[in-house]
Amino acid sequence: MKKSTTRAAKDVEALGKVLFALADVDEKQRGWIIAAAVSKLGIAAPTINSTPVAGAVNQINSRAVVSGRPGSREHAKEHGKNFVCWKNAPTDVLRAAVLGYYLTHFRNNGSYKPPDLTAMNNEAAGMTVNNMTRAMENATRKNRYFVAIGNKSEKKITAYGEAVVEALPDMVAVAAVKKAGPPRKRRKL
């Protein structure tokens, strides 16, 4: 009995901390913060006895967060903007990888060139990538997120690149994937 009481006390204490942190935030922002936290944690929208809680995550009252498991096909099919926003890639190289992943998995486009990624980025209203060609080259040569096929400018995402994108937006998980890394190429002597 004591363990459940201790657990309940911890839950109440955690709820108190959350409510205190959100006390000075306006109602709209509060809903967005809670929706983003729910999305980040990958849990279902909060409900009590299957009745939605006021301000729960849904397609109407949330920005860039829609119902469905984050990173899932349902989430991304809403629009590429949701996927790109949720992945929140901090660098041009990672943005290129996210766009390549989206084109491969949700648009059934197995290979692409820099103009294809730029067009997808514009459609998704993503952050500006000043030089997509350079970003793709760095993603290919330095990071091994893409591999060249056919002519040099046409690329497709590697399994390693997919693993990195799937780990986003959690940068700790990205670091773990990068640490495991792709197998290194042996240089011929």
> DSSP letters along 136-158, please?
HHHHHHTS-SEEE-SSTT-EEE-
**Same domain for 163 and 77:** yes
What is the residue-level pLDDT of the chain in tens, covering all 189 positions?
455 567 777 777 877 787 778 778 777 677 777 776 766 666 654 443 333 333 333 333 333 334 444 545 555 556 788 888 888 888 999 999 999 999 998 888 888 999 999 999 998 888 888 899 999 999 988 999 999 988 777 999 999 999 999 888 888 888 888 888 776 666 666
Identify the domain containing residue 145 by its residue range. 73-180
Residue type, position 53, single letter: V
Count CB-CB contacts under 10 A for residue 31: 21
Say if 100 falls within a structural domain: yes
Residues in the chain: 189
**Same domain for 28 and 77:** no
**Same domain for 100 and 175:** yes
Say if 170 falls within a structural domain: yes
Closest CA to 146 of 184, 105, 111: 111
- pTM to 2 decimal places: 0.58
**Same domain for 79 and 15:** no
Please answer whether residues 75 and 54 qualify as being in contact, where contact means their C-beta atoms are separated by less than 8 angstroms. no
**Same domain for 143 and 79:** yes
DSSP codes of every residue in 125-137: TPPP-S-HHHHHH
Say if 61 falls within a structural domain: no
Please answer whether residues 167 and 177 qualify as being in contact, where contact means their C-beta atoms are separated by less than 8 angstroms. yes
**Domains contained in the chain, number:** 2
**Same domain for 78 and 166:** yes
Residue type, position 153, single letter: S
**Same domain for 10 and 101:** no
